Amino acid sequence: MEQLADRLDRVNQGVGAVVRWLALAMVLMQFGTVVLRYVYGISFIFLTESVLYMHAALFMLGAGFTLLVDGHVRVDIFYGLLGRRGKARIDVFGVLGFLIPSMLMIAWFSWPSVHNSWRIMEGAISVGGIPASFLLKSLIPAFCGLLIVQGLACLLRDLARLSGDETPA
């Protein structure tokens, strides 16, 4: 189980290694947009939208990596007091009861919008913007898929912990 979980982890490790550079690109693009606007009096809508696209991609595609490195928000009232097996039980319940069902539901209900957007090659959000709203909407099922993959990796590790088959970290 551990080997399969490691292979699933590599998906989000790879995506995280690429997506993290969007933070730097986003800051530089926003800085350039501000300089152009307030120093030179020039404004381009596609530059402003590119920051929006990068921001969306950073958070939507980086969510699986955040779960991988345990950087997500957790209500720690009781969780922090539990041992490894208690935490594993709560995590199994969380993945099976909340994470996977909610991601499947979001993917299911967003799919018609994403599919229609690709079918018509939906254009810019604003006049003069990036003519690729279909790419922005595609982040929704990608977000769901990456979180499901990472949720399964976490689930496998927690099940191994509960069965006593875990390898020491």
Residue 39 lies in a domain: yes
Mean pLDDT of the chain: 93
Domain region containing 19: 2-163
Query: Would you say the pTM of this structure is higher than 0.75?
Result: yes
92 versus 168: the higher-pLDDT residue is 92
Whole-number pLDDT of residue 1: 82
Once rounded to an integer, what is the mean pLDDT over residues 101-110? Answer: 98
Tens digits of residue pLDDT in 28-57: 999 999 999 999 999 999 999 999 999 999
Residue 114 Cα to chain centre, angstroms: 17
Evaluate if residue 169 carries a pLDDT over 60.
no
Say if 11 falls within a structural domain.
yes
- Kind and range of the H or E element at 94? helix 84-94
Q: Which of 18, 1, 2 is nearest to 142 (CA)?
A: 18
- Within-domain flag for 150: yes
Residue 88 belongs to some domain of the structure: yes
User: How many domains in the chain?
Assistant: 1
Matching residue, tokens 């922005």: 136
Q: What's the confidence (pLDDT) of residue 76?
A: 77
In a domain, 168, yes or no: no
Answer whether residue 93 is part of any domain. yes
Residue 34 lies in a domain: yes
